[in-house]
Amino acid sequence: MPNKKVLVTGVTGRTGSIVLQKIRQQDNDWEAFGLARSEQKTQEIFGSKEGFYFGDITDKTTLVPALKNCDALIIVTSSVPQRKAPPQEGERPELTYPPDATPEKIDYQGQMNQIDIAKQTGVNHIILMGSMGGTNENHPLNKIGNGNILIWKRKAEQYLIESGIDYTIIRAGGLLNEPGGKRKLLVGKNDTLLDRESPTIPREDVAELIVQALYTPEARNKALDVVSESEEASQGEVTYDFTALFAQTTPGL
Ligand SMILES: NC(=O)c1ccc[n+]([C@@H]2O[C@H](COP(=O)([O-])OP(=O)(O)OC[C@H]3O[C@@H](n4cnc5c(N)ncnc54)[C@H](OP(=O)(O)O)[C@@H]3O)[C@@H](O)[C@H]2O)c1
In the predicted model, what is the mean pLDDT of residues 189-196?
Answer: 97
Taking the centre of ligand 1 as the mean of its atom positions, its distance from the CA of residue 79, in whole angstroms, is: 6
Q: Is 230 one of the catalytic residues?
A: no
Task: Kindly report the number of other CB atoms within 10 A of residue 109's CB atom.
Answer: 17
Q: So where are the chain's domains?
A: 4-247
Considering the chain, what percentage of its residues have pLDDT values greater than 70? 100
Nearest CA residue ID for atom 39, ligand 1: 12
> What is the per-residue pLDDT across 208-246, written as a single tens digit (0 to 9) for each?
999 999 999 999 999 999 999 999 999 889 999 999 999
Q: Please provide the size of the chain in residues.
A: 253
Mean confidence (pLDDT) of the chain: 96
Burial of 96 (0-12, 13-18, 19+ CB in 10 A): middle
Question: Ligand 1 pocket test: which of 77, 136, 169, 201 has the largest number of ligand atoms within 8 Å of its C-beta?
Answer: 77
Taking the centre of ligand 1 as the mean of its atom positions, its distance from the CA of residue 129, in whole angstroms, is: 9
Taking the centre of ligand 1 as the mean of its atom positions, its distance from the CA of residue 13, in whole angstroms, is: 5
The three-class DSSP label of residue 5 is: strand
Which residues fall within 8 angstroms of residue 19, CB to CB, at 6 or more apart? 8, 11, 74, 76, 207, 210, 211
Burial pattern 80-92, b for ≥16 Cβ within 10 A else e, equals ebeeeeeeeeeee
Q: Of 45-54, 81-90, 192-201, where does mean pLDDT reach its minimum?
A: 81-90
pLDDT (0 to 100) of residue 23: 97
Decide: 58 in ligand 1 pocket, CB within 6 A.
yes
d(CA 35, CA 77): 10
Q: What is the pTM of this model?
A: 0.97
- The phi-psi region of residue 10 (left if phi > 0; otherwise alpha if psi is between -120 and 50; otherwise beta) is left
pLDDT (0 to 100) of residue 1: 74
CATH class of 4-247: alpha beta
Question: Ligand 1 pocket test: which of 56, 78, 206 has the largest number of ligand atoms within 8 Å of its C-beta?
Answer: 78
pLDDT (0 to 100) of residue 18: 98
Higher pLDDT, 236 or 174: 174
Please pick, among 17, 78, 79, 131, the residue that the annotation labels catalytic. Answer: 131
Taking the centre of ligand 1 as the mean of its atom positions, its distance from the CA of residue 130, in whole angstroms, is: 10
> What is the per-residue pLDDT across 134-159, written as a single tens digit (0 to 9) for each?
999 999 999 999 999 999 999 999 99
Q: Of 75-89, 117-131, 188-202, where does mean pLDDT reach its minimum?
A: 75-89
In the predicted model, what is the mean pLDDT of residues 20-44?
Answer: 96
Decide: 172 in ligand 1 pocket, CB within 6 A.
yes
Computed on alpha carbons and rounded to an integer, the radius of gyration of the chain in Å comes to 18
> What is the per-residue pLDDT across 77-114, written as a single tens digit (0 to 9) for each?
999 999 887 777 777 778 999 999 999 999 999 999 99
Spatial CA neighbour of 147 closest among 198, 66, 80: 80
